[in-house]
Structure 1
Amino acid sequence: MSTGTPGRHRRSRKKILLAVALPTALAAGAATAAVGIGSASAAVAVPKPDHVVVVMMENHAYKQIIGSKGAPYLNSLAKGGAVLRASYGITHPSQPNYFAVFSGSTQGITGDDCYNPGSMSAPNLASELIAAGKTWGSYNESLPSEGSTTCKSGKYAQKHNPWFAFKNVPTSSGHTFDRFPTDFTELPKVSFVVPNLCNDMHDCSVGTGDSWIKNKLDAYAVWAKTHNSLLVITYDEDDKHSGNQIPTVLYGQPVKAGSAPTTKYNHYDMLRTLEDLAGLTTHAGKAAGASDIAGVWN
């Protein structure tokens, strides 16, 4: 009996050590897994910039802009910021894409005809911002007057300004472009800039539009780089020859310079990202099922 006792004691000690070590190991593994999950979540989380300015350009495919000698300024922003290598419009022609990126739906619009101002009530980026107590505005080049809901005026086209269609968006938030602040701290939380039919590259050259962005928005881009703010430049649709792949460039302090993710994104993903950048908890239309843009944030 005495000779067997030490062996039993050793076996007992082994069982006790195993009983202690196993939960510890499992806990450590769970902690490691939790760290991994947290890191993954952090990797796809979006920042919370103070201001976001979105510029909508027209009718050019990715390859017509990115890498093109005709767009030196846009390419400089892409180099110093981020370019999405697989960004896509939703459809053709222009107008449904504007509604998609603003409200998460084309709202049944299939053409470029003028809509009835104030005829829609669906949730949209502006109504969500306003409901959350945040600020919104649009700056529309060649708009004949503040809050004008006119269909056409010179180089201005209502089809590129979906906000006037919604009764839950004040027409007073639709500004002429000359109201774009020079003191950028006065900008809304989120705003859209829409050049006229020449400067958005619809009627005029790539170089014309590229120069317009440089002349009108470079000061903001420089400021955004050091003031927790963001500039987004994207397009409504391509030239109908590249599967609706469009250029999309992001620039500012929250953006990781030189990033160029290849994940496929569209206008609904852009809307989802804008909503989350603004800290909104609601998502309009198909943005609710869309993805935040990832791989571009510091």
Structure 2
Amino acid sequence: MIASSRTRTRSAVRLLAYALGLAAAAAAPWTGAAGTEHRAGHGPTPDHVVVVVMENHAYDQIIGSPNAPYINSLGSRGAVLTSSYAIAHPSQPNYFALFSGATQGITDDSCYIPGFSSAANLASELTAVGKTWASYSESLPSQGSTTCDSGRYTRTHNPWFGFGNVPRSSAKTFAQFPTVYARLPTVSFVIPNLCSDMHDCPVSTGDTWLETHLGAYAAWAKTHNSLLAVTFDEDDKHSKNKIATVLYGQPVAAGSRSATRYDHDDVLRTIEDMYGTSHAGHAATASDITGVWAS
């Protein structure tokens, strides 16, 4: 049985490991069997999962805020993780953690060298079990572009370019996000640009962007065994890194709440266990999200 919570001591040790950049094990060359053997989870197996990562706002700045009516409507009709936490500061290490269970030695927001790591990650794990993956980044100049910055686009929010075992062609522009949602890959990440993700623009701007661009997918997911997950990279640096994470779709019990402490490793672990992959980095010792799934 996978534990549903961890002691404060364990959480502190893991956070310290991140801060010190102790990702050596996860950074070892991946042979297709990195991480621990799969332990069956107790969550659903959605046909599609779309993860949207927003920026730099604390839980209380989003949940219950009149400036985020759409996100709150998703939460009221889906699930809210009321004790959801990021891993580190600043932004970039959190993206690497969410994607690979480790910060891969990244400690700042500098533009990294493409393909510097061969560690296991969500994309490589999904591919190994016959599932599909893609990212969709707003303002990315072109599919597979490794440019550091372009207008309101930044590669620091796109960790998949850091892995040599993830095809660059899987990094798509947001304009390529399918309008026929059944054509979506098994798992995809959506990365809004620096305005739409609330980094440079108000919460209301990002909330409206979500409704405008992903509201139709959310409605479709509700009746097509699919999942929308909206989370944040980190807080505003004033709330102990507590962030908003909202889950919505047919597999989610409407109006559910979980007060169990979860972080980016747990989100990664949950997606891995949905599809029976191995576990990357710290996801090997993380927990599945429970208590919010429909029967």
Structure 1 and Structure 2 fold alike (TM over 0.5)? yes
Q: Which amino acid aligns with 1:195?
A: P
Q: Secondary structure at 2:216's aligned position in 1? A: helix
Partner of 2:266: 269
> Do the aligned residues in 1 keep the contact of 2:50 with 2:228 (CA within 8 Å)?
yes
Q: Secondary structure at 2:134's aligned position in 1? A: strand
CA distance in 1, matches of 2:50, 2:201: 23
CA distance in 1, matches of 2:284, 2:78: 27
Corresponding position: 1:221 with 2:231: no
Q: 1:247 Cα deviation (Å)?
A: 0.2
Q: Secondary structure at 2:293's aligned position in 1? A: coil
Partner of 2:290: 294
Q: Deviations over 1:21-78 (max 9, x none)?
A: xxxxxxxxxxxxxxxx9xx9xxx71000000000000000000000000000000000
The alignment's C-alpha RMSD in Å is 1.1
Partner of 1:282: 278
> Do the aligned residues in 2 keep the contact of 1:77 with 1:249 (CA within 8 Å)?
yes
> Do the aligned residues in 1 keep the contact of 2:196 with 2:205 (CA within 8 Å)?
yes
Partner of 2:142: 145
Matches within 5 A, 1:9-48: 45-48=42-45
Q: Which sections of structure 2, spanning at least 5 residues, go unmatched?
A: 5-40
CA distance in 2, matches of 1:165, 1:182: 28
> Do the aligned residues in 1 keep the contact of 2:126 with 2:277 (CA within 8 Å)?
no
> Do the aligned residues in 1 keep the contact of 2:146 with 2:161 (CA within 8 Å)?
yes
Matches within 5 A, 1:97-246: 97-246=94-243
Partner of 2:38: none
> Do the aligned residues in 2 keep the contact of 1:229 with 1:253 (CA within 8 Å)?
yes
Greater Cα shift, 212-221 or 268-277: 268-277
CA distance in 1, matches of 2:67, 2:51: 21
Q: 1:280 Cα deviation (Å)?
A: 2.2
Q: Deviations over 1:158-211 (max 9, x none)?
A: 000000110000000000000000000000000000000000000000000000
CA distance in 2, matches of 1:45, 1:171: 32
Q: 1:281 Cα deviation (Å)?
A: 3.2
Partner of 1:256: 253
Partner of 1:93: 90
Q: Secondary structure at 2:136's aligned position in 1? A: strand
CA distance in 2, matches of 1:87, 1:119: 30
Q: Which amino acid aligns with 2:165?
A: N
CA distance in 2, matches of 1:131, 1:259: 33
CA distance in 1, matches of 2:243, 2:115: 30
Q: 1:218 Cα deviation (Å)?
A: 0.4
CA distance in 2, matches of 1:264, 1:76: 22
* TM-score w.r.t. length of structure 1: 0.85
CA distance in 1, matches of 2:62, 2:206: 11
CA distance in 2, matches of 1:171, 1:240: 32
Partner of 1:5: none
Identity of aligned residues (%): 68
Q: Deviations over 1:221-253 (max 9, x none)?
A: 000000000000000000011100000000000
CA distance in 2, matches of 1:209, 1:97: 19
CA distance in 2, matches of 1:66, 1:246: 9
Partner of 2:36: none
CA distance in 1, matches of 2:109, 2:232: 16
CA distance in 1, matches of 2:276, 2:145: 28
| Deviant stretches of 4+, over 6 Å | none
Q: 1:214 Cα deviation (Å)?
A: 0.2
CA distance in 2, matches of 1:99, 1:178: 24
* TM-score w.r.t. length of structure 2: 0.86
Aligned length: 256
> Do the aligned residues in 2 keep the contact of 1:128 with 1:280 (CA within 8 Å)?
no
Q: 1:133 Cα deviation (Å)?
A: 1.2
Q: Which sections of structure 1, spanning at least 5 residues, go unmatched?
A: 1-36
